[in-house]
Amino acid sequence: MNFLAQKGYHVITLDQLYNTFYGKSLLPDKPIAITFDDGYRDNFTNAFPIMQKYHFPGTVFMVSSYINGDGFLTADQLKQLHASGWTIGGHTENHIDLSKVSSETVVKELKNSRSTLENLLGQPIKYIAYPFGGYNSSVMNLAKADGYTAGFTTARGWTHQESDPYALQRIYCYANMGIQEFERRITHPDY
């Protein structure tokens, strides 16, 4: 996070990203959105304080059945993140590969996840990250029909204005990748 701050990156929300790409508003120079999948508790205990130090918003794509589970975010922690300007997105109810199940199961996973999160936060859930990157045209259409505004994949690379809003790419990062690899990935669109 210090690297991003020192190099002049502007951490944005998913609403800012979406509104720029599909609503024609403007982004600051060197925009980057930071997302976390699954909803591990360390998103709150480790990442949140560091990101607050830099005034960076984040996004947690939460598996709804994991809320209050061992090692996962509690309902109160999700509410605190949300109140602090973080985006909470869906990551299905049970963290299953949506491309490998029936349409009925996909609909159930999407609806139950959204319902749980919306009831908890009192706000619409607009974004989904597909667990395991498992999606196809049917899953994308069902996510759209269920009211999601955009879907995020595990496909590596930068997303851009020509990207399908239900198949947005992300930059994959891991804990011990090192600052040189991190810099390479955020400065090369097709890393």
For 51-92, give the DSSP string: HHHTT---EEEE-GGGTTSTTB--HHHHHHHHHTT-EEEE--
Express each pLDDT in 36-84 by its tens digit: 999 999 999 999 999 999 999 999 999 999 999 999 999 999 999 999 9
Nearest Cα to 187, choosing from 6, 9, 1? Answer: 9
Integer distance in angstroms from the first to the last C-alpha of the chain?
Answer: 20
Nearest Cα to 117, choosing from 34, 51, 39? Answer: 39
Q: What percent of the chain has pLDDT above 90?
A: 90
pLDDT at 23: 78
Mean pLDDT (whole number) for 141-152: 97
What letter would DSSP give residue 149?
S
Helical (H) or strand (E) element with 36: strand 35-38
Express each pLDDT in 98-135 by its tens digit: 999 999 999 999 999 999 999 999 999 999 999 999 99
pLDDT at 38: 98
Secondary structure of residue 152 in the 3-state scheme: strand
Total domains present in the chain: 1
pLDDT at 47: 97
What letter would DSSP give residue 47?
I
Ranges of H-type helices in 122-145: 137-145
Nearest Cα to 159, choosing from 139, 137, 129? Answer: 129
Domain of 51 in residue numbering reads as: 2-187
CATH number of the domain residue 34 falls in:
3.20.20.370
